[in-house]
Amino acid sequence: MRDLSSINPWVWKAHPEVWLLVIAIFSLGFWAIKIIGPKVVTSGQKVVTRKQKITFIVAIILLLISADWPLHDIAEDHLYSAHMLQHLLITFVVPPLFLLSIPVWLARLLVVSDSFTARIIRKLSHPVAAGLTFNALVALTHWSGFVQFSADSGAFHYLIHLLLFTTAILMWIPVVSPIPELRLSLPGQMFYLFLMSIIPTIPAAWLTFAEGNVYRHYDDGYLMWGISVQSDQQAAGLIMKLIGGFYLWSIIVFKFYVFAREHTRNQNIRTIST
């Protein structure tokens, strides 16, 4: 049991490791656009579009919100449901935004070249490899012993978040890669996202219907906002299943709309040509 007198999630805490990561990502983006871009992009072609700039900034802001105070501190010390919300942001929301913000010329420099790094990225971002790796890591992070060790070691906790973020980027490449040939077909993307929405229901159901307190770390006697440990676990399971599932299914519906529109347009072109 922790000393409750020392627990106050609203006392500001510095997270320099998060700031360094955010600054590094922003600096790399700035360097790529201002230094590399003008040397690579042909005259008359935009180095980066306004939409890509906005998407990159939104991704940076959401990454900072998800990994910094107060969400990080509430998620790490008080509410597992906040922890689940944090993980949804760093795996389902931020990674695809970063991928959407990458110009095609930059993505081709990183992935299409014949370098060792490019070959590794292509192999790890294969739908089967990326999907299995990401979901295996997500399942592992719900093991009670894993959660406790992560809570006891700040360095390990930070490393796991980096791994989740990295594997999430690889998982999203078959759907939103800047390079068309690395993306699945629209039906393939819909089926892939369907699988990504089904697999997390197992740990979500386990959390929702588990009897007793699954994670000892969150059973410290401090009831933030009066939420019991059992209710917090159930909320975490529902967030994972309902919010995460609704988010993925919203993308599936959008992909289906795009596929149906393209199919109708192609049918009309064939009709006109005949």
Question: Of 1-10, 137-146, 241-250, which gets the smallest average pLDDT?
Answer: 1-10
- Give one word for 212, left, alpha or beta, with left for phi > 0 and alpha for psi -120 to 50: left
Given a cut of 60, whether residue 186 has pLDDT beyond it is yes
CA-closest candidate to residue 207, choices 170, 245, 234: 234
Instruction: Compute the distance between CA of residue 4 and CA of residue 13 in angstroms, rounded to an integer.
Output: 17
Given a cut of 90, whether residue 58 has pLDDT beyond it is yes
Given a cut of 70, whether residue 48 has pLDDT beyond it is yes
Instruction: Compute the distance between CA of residue 220 and CA of residue 222 in angstroms, rounded to an integer.
Output: 6
Do 184 and 192 meet the contact criterion of CB atoms below 8 Å apart? yes
Higher pLDDT, 64 or 215: 64
> What would the pLDDT profile of 155-183 be if each residue is shown by its tens digit?
898 899 999 999 999 999 999 999 999 99
Instruction: Compute the distance between CA of residue 109 and CA of residue 255 in angstroms, rounded to an integer.
Output: 27
